């Protein structure tokens, strides 16, 4: 029996599942989908509002990873961050309890849907998945959704619908998306990242190509960014139908007549030579024009009328932690953004620097030691652009600092940057420096957002 069939049988037979890392951004939606299908327990490293919500749904959640937590479980589903030396996984192996990856469970779930729209790419996944969700909701298709962030429309990062369409943010880390079964596979871009897992760019390209090849040969579709050289290279010669989107004439789905007004962009979406719709996007930057174009191209593939695309995108004001307005302090506007890769920093700064009336102050928290080391010079280049940079220490996430690198190393290379060993000292510096008309950005995939929230409060 293959792993897919084994897991499918376990879930459908009502066996008890234990989810390791149940409070995570894609584990907690999985738990909510599985509630009512099979008995659930879970564990996580800390209490949170998400954990409270799961408990209110009838899920028993333990705080801390301990061997005894898995006893009585019939199978385990683990987050990608839970390694083989996790005490619960070690104990599960000792007891002969099968262990499955989170992505494998989502793969089982999506096989139940006629349309599985899986949105991948090194950058822009959460925003584009959120845009696609807005479009599907406007079209009335009642989708099931899994997003790696909170979408105000849903008041959550997930939705369980009754329709035949599922929309999933699909991550390449640990080749997770290779456990999926997309009918429409979106590739926004392919870039060098997650180098603690991938050996380099060529390995990343191969992973994205394998993802694209998961769509059915007969009627599956790949929606891909023709403006991204690495994406084009990764898909060269592929034997699947590819719908290319982009800004140039070679794109089958393209944006024309782009008009930018502050943070808003308006443009026509053309499919081949025919106008599909005109859309308004209320999040800044040309990267978000491309994200909207990808969502529109996916909608066209699924037969969604252009009016629903226009309505859905006009109602989209951003996902949580994607250029999210938090409030003001001393007349300075405070925004938060999840950008944690140099290319994401570039896209963010490209969008906001032309808007500034006064200074742009960036509080940045690098994410993982391996990424900071591998892309160090690129981080330095992008962080040289704001008026002032406040560097918090690196957010370790799943790693330990065996490299001996610090955010101070970046600060030492930048005349516009200062290093702060604690959030308290960083907050005091921001409060000291903020002036009316400034834009303060808290940036990073860790917990830097709390700095902006504390200042606003």
CA atoms within a 13 Å half-sphere pointing along the CA-CB vector of 227: 17
Q: What is the pLDDT of residue 25?
A: 79
Residues whose CB falls within 8 Å of the CB of residue 81, separated by 6 or more in sequence, listed in order: 21, 24, 397, 398
Q: How far apart are CA 161 and CA 45, in angstroms?
A: 30
Give the β-pairing of 253-261 and 241-246.
Answer: parallel
Closest CA to 456 of 320, 334, 338: 334
Cβ-count burial of 179 within 10 angstroms (0-12 exposed, 13-18 middle, 19+ buried)? buried
Q: Which residues pair with 281 in a beta bridge?
A: 265
pLDDT by residue for the chain (457 residues), tens only, comes to 799 999 999 998 989 999 999 998 779 889 988 987 899 999 999 999 889 999 999 999 999 999 999 999 999 999 978 889 999 999 999 999 999 999 999 999 999 899 999 999 999 999 999 999 999 999 999 999 999 878 888 888 889 899 999 999 999 988 999 999 999 999 999 999 888 889 999 999 999 999 999 999 999 999 999 999 999 999 999 999 999 999 988 999 999 999 998 889 999 999 998 999 999 999 988 999 999 999 999 999 999 999 999 999 999 987 777 888 899 999 999 999 999 999 999 989 998 898 877 899 999 999 999 999 999 999 999 999 999 999 999 999 878 999 999 999 999 999 999 999 999 999 999 999 999 999 999 999 999 999 999 999 8
Residues in the chain: 457
Q: What is the pLDDT of residue 150?
A: 81
Q: What is the pLDDT of residue 364?
A: 98
Closest CA to 153 of 174, 178, 171, 136: 136
Q: What is the pLDDT of residue 82?
A: 87
Query: Which H or E element spans position 6?
Result: helix 3-12
For residues 170 and 148, the answer to whether their CB atoms sit within 8 Å is no
Q: What is the pLDDT of residue 65?
A: 96
Domains and CATH numbers, the chain: 3-102 (3.40.50.720), 113-314 (3.40.1190.10), 324-456 (3.90.190.20)
Q: What is the pLDDT of residue 218?
A: 92
Q: How far apart are CA 174 and CA 171, in angstroms?
A: 8
pTM beyond 0.85: the answer is no
Q: What are phi and psi of 187, to 5 degrees?
A: -120, 110
Q: What is the pLDDT of residue 262?
A: 82
Helix, strand or coil for residue 386? Answer: coil
């Amino acid at each position: 029996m293959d792993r897919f069939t084994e897991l499918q049988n376990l879930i459908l037979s009502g066996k008890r599942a234990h989810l390791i890392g149940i409070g995570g951004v894609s584990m907690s939606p999985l738990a909510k989908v599985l509630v009512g299908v099979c008995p659930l327990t879970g564990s996580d490293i800390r209490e949170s509002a998400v954990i409270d919500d799961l408990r209110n749904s009838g899920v028993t959640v333990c705080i801390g990873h301990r061997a005894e937590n898995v006893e009585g479980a019939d199978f385990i589903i683990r987050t990608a961050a839970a390694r083989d030396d996790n005490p619960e996984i070690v104990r599960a192996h000792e007891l002969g309890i099968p262990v499955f990856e989170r992505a494998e469970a989502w793969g089982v779930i999506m096989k139940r849907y006629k349309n599985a729209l899986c949105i991948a790419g090194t950058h822009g996944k959460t925003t584009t998945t959120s845009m696609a969700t807005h479009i599907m909701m406007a079209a009335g298709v009642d989708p099931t959704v899994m997003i790696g962030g909170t979408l105000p429309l849903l008041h959550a990062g997930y939705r369980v619908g009754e329709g035949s369409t599922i929309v999933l943010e699909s991550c390449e880390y640990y080749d997770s998306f290779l456990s999926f079964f997309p009918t429409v596979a979106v590739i926004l871009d392919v870039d060098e990242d997650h180098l603690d897992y991938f050996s380099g760019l060529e390995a990343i390209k191969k992973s994205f190509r394998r993802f694209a090849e998961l769509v059915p040969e007969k009627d599956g579709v790949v929606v891909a960014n023709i403006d991204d050289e690495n994406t084009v290279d990764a898909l060269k010669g592929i034997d699947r139908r590819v719908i290319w989107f982009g800004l140039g004439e070679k794109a089958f789905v393209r944006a024309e007549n782009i008009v930018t007004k502050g943070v808003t962009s308006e443009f026509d979406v053309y499919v081949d030579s025919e106008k599909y719709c005109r859309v308004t996007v209320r999040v800044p930057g040309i990267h978000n024009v491309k994200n909207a174009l990808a969502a529109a191209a996916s909608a066209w593939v699924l037969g969604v009328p252009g009016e629903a695309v226009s309505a859905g995108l006009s109602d989209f004001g951003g996902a949580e932690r994607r250029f999210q307005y938090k409030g003001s302090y001393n007349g300075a506007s405070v925004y938060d953004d999840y950008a944690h890769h140099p290319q994401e920093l570039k896209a963010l700064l490209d969008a906001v620097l032309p808007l500034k009336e006064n200074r742009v102050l960036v509080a940045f928290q690098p994410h993982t030691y391996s990424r900071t080391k591998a892309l160090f010079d690129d981080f330095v280049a992008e962080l040289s652009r704001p008026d002032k940079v406040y560097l918090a220490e690196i957010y370790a996430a799943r790693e330990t600092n065996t490299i001996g690198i610090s955010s101070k190393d970046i600060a030492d290379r930048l005349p516009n940057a200062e290093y702060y060993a604690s959030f308290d000292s960083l907050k005091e510096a921001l409060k000291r420096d903020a002036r009316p008309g400034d834009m303060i950005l808290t940036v990073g995939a860790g917990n830097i957002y709390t700095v902006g929230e504390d200042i606003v409060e």
